[in-house]
Structure 1
Amino acid sequence: MTSHPTPADILTPNAEALAAGRQAYRESGEGPTIVLLHGISSGAASWEPLARHLPGYHLLAWDAPGYTDSQPLASSRPLAADYAARLDDWLTAVGVQRCVMVGHSLGAMMASAFAARCPERLAGMILADPALGYRHANAGKRDEVYRSRWTLLAGQGHDAYAAARAPRLLRDDASDDAIARVRDGMRRLNVDGFAQASWMLANDSLEGYVGDGWGVPAAVLCGDQDAITPPQACRDLAARQGLTYHAIPRAGHASYIDAPDAFARALDALARPWLATLPRG
């Protein structure tokens, strides 16, 4: 009898030894590759609900440098380009030549930088509930953004921080399972890696990597109840960059956790034609 994976083991933990150190990730499935980049308060395990709705794809969800068991970046003040360089090394090590890349929130900034660095490696890119970055804000605002998360985590501890912050990433009537998943991701945060990511958010810009265009097909997705990166800001980004915009109904900022089925449908509808000409496997 064929055994079917339980929800807990759809995305299997894995790691790759890179020159820069250990890179942790989760993996599932066979077919064209979709790479999943989590946001600032999350990790690879957060993509489990979405994975259940995406059969027929090879899913690779990384734990960003400094998250769970991934080696932090060398610089305490990294930019998205530094994360993109690690992405490049990791995808080379695991044998991925081309993929669709999904960047959620801060992960969208990393995806943007990767598209600028390696457009030939992307069949398409999805910016989900994208964080735009604060590079053009004044020094006081940048410092506030930098210190607003990791200092609270360090001061309050993981349980208190997760209990207070997790519901804000979801719709008002989010399920208990969704809230528990977001809390679990926050409990796994490493303060040093969190601080590095916070520096990038405060001092870099998603659109700073566009230049004359990313050179790859791209689209913007956003939860219709997103209070962190509001739908209007995401629609404005799509309009400025000439990208299609897709609202995810009944979803907050962590739209792929709030509404994984709707998110998966939108992702599949975009990725399938982008990947149609690529070899499977």
Structure 2
Amino acid sequence: MSVRDHITAGIGWREHQGDGPVLVALHGIGSEARAFDGVAAALPGWRVIAWEAPGYGPSTPLAMDWPVAADYATALAGFLDALSLTQVHLVGHSLGTLIGAAFARAHPQRVSTLTLASCAQGGGAQPGTLPAKQAARLDDLAALGAPEFARTRAPRLIFQPDQNPALVTAVYDGMSKIQLPGYAQAVRMLASGDLAADCAALTAPTAVIVGAEDIVTPPAQSQTAHAALPAAQRGALTLIPGAGHALHQQAPAALAAALRAQVHQGVTP
């Protein structure tokens, strides 16, 4: 499978080329496009496009200091327009679930299927008000710098980190690249997000998957998102044993299997 990195319309993106289903992947708050390499490798023939969210990698930050999920969804719509992609399969991980659900709510005709992995429920705060938990993220980043910040947090994303040092290193590599203002914008969006509210308004077939050992976004958060989905759109809720928060890196084959199941139920663009 050929892999190429691009920048289009101010967004960096990583493309795993293929002639099959088109999957757009949205990474989490401390991650990067490269984190989906294992999933793409388990989907031979698919065209997998993983973006670098606004303010991550080479991508231009959003214009506002306090964005909400809908602002990222607008950026995603512009990015897909620039690639002439009118309809895609969409997967979001962690913070990416908030973006994916907001996009599917605003642009239902553009989403064949949606898969939410390791759901971040959001804090439901009003923009302009940063709760203590989210404020602590930015304080820690300012005090430690990105590399040390990543060193302290990366092991929490992997189940049994001592037995999986290569996976911890992969998570660290992505997290150590976070930068301002992009990370601060994402933290503020997380603080104001409300995944369940967006899920309740979805019209695309939507599946949910989570690692059974996830201590960052515990399975209960993904179960809440799944329960909020309209019955007609509610796909599978899959619990993956032996996997932590970085599900796409610790259990890429399981996530790929869930994506294949979703595509078989939807319309392949």
Q: TM-score, normalised by structure 2?
A: 0.92
User: 2 CA distance for matches of 1:87 and 1:214?
Assistant: 17
Partner of 2:209: 221
Q: Is 1:172 matched up with 2:160? A: yes
Q: Is 1:156 matched up with 2:144? A: yes
Count of residue correspondences: 262
Partner of 1:123: 112
Does the 8 Å contact 2:120/2:221 carry over to 1?
Answer: no
Does the 8 Å contact 1:150/1:191 carry over to 2?
Answer: no
Question: Which of 93, 106, 109 lines up with 2:98 in the alignment?
Answer: 109
Shift of 1:136: 5.2
User: 1 CA distance for matches of 2:84 and 2:166?
Assistant: 34
Q: Secondary structure at the match of 1:39?
A: coil
Shift of 1:245: 0.4
Shift of 1:75: 0.2
Q: Secondary structure at the match of 1:148?
A: helix
RMSD: 1.8
User: 1 CA distance for matches of 2:228 and 2:195?
Assistant: 12
User: 2 CA distance for matches of 1:11 and 1:234?
Assistant: 31
Amino acid at match of 1:97: T
Q: Secondary structure at the match of 2:181?
A: helix
Partner of 2:32: 43
> Residue deviations 1:71-108, cap 9 Å, x none?
00000000000000000000010111111100110100
User: 2 CA distance for matches of 1:171 and 1:206?
Assistant: 24
Within 5 Å, which residues of 2 pair with 1:1-281?
11-17=3-9, 22-30=10-18, 31-135=20-124, 142-173=130-161, 175-210=164-199, 213-241=201-229, 242=231, 243=234, 244-276=236-268, 278=269
| Stretch moving more, 230-239 or 27-36 | 230-239
Does the 8 Å contact 2:31/2:171 carry over to 1?
Answer: yes
Shift of 1:217: 0.4
Does the 8 Å contact 1:44/1:61 carry over to 2?
Answer: yes
Shift of 1:143: 2.1
Shift of 1:237: 2.4
User: 2 CA distance for matches of 1:51 and 1:150?
Assistant: 32
Does the 8 Å contact 2:121/2:221 carry over to 1?
Answer: no
Does the 8 Å contact 1:154/1:191 carry over to 2?
Answer: no
Shift of 1:155: 1.4
Q: Secondary structure at the match of 1:14?
A: strand
Does the 8 Å contact 1:153/1:191 carry over to 2?
Answer: no
| Stretch moving more, 235-244 or 213-222 | 235-244
Does the 8 Å contact 1:34/1:101 carry over to 2?
Answer: yes
Runs of 4+ more than 3 Å apart: none
Amino acid at match of 2:149: Y
> Residue deviations 1:118-154, cap 9 Å, x none?
00000010111110101159x98x4213312232122
User: 2 CA distance for matches of 1:210 and 1:251?
Assistant: 24
Identity %: 36
Shift of 1:230: 0.9
User: 1 CA distance for matches of 2:122 and 2:132?
Assistant: 13
User: 2 CA distance for matches of 1:112 and 1:156?
Assistant: 32
User: 1 CA distance for matches of 2:266 and 2:166?
Assistant: 32
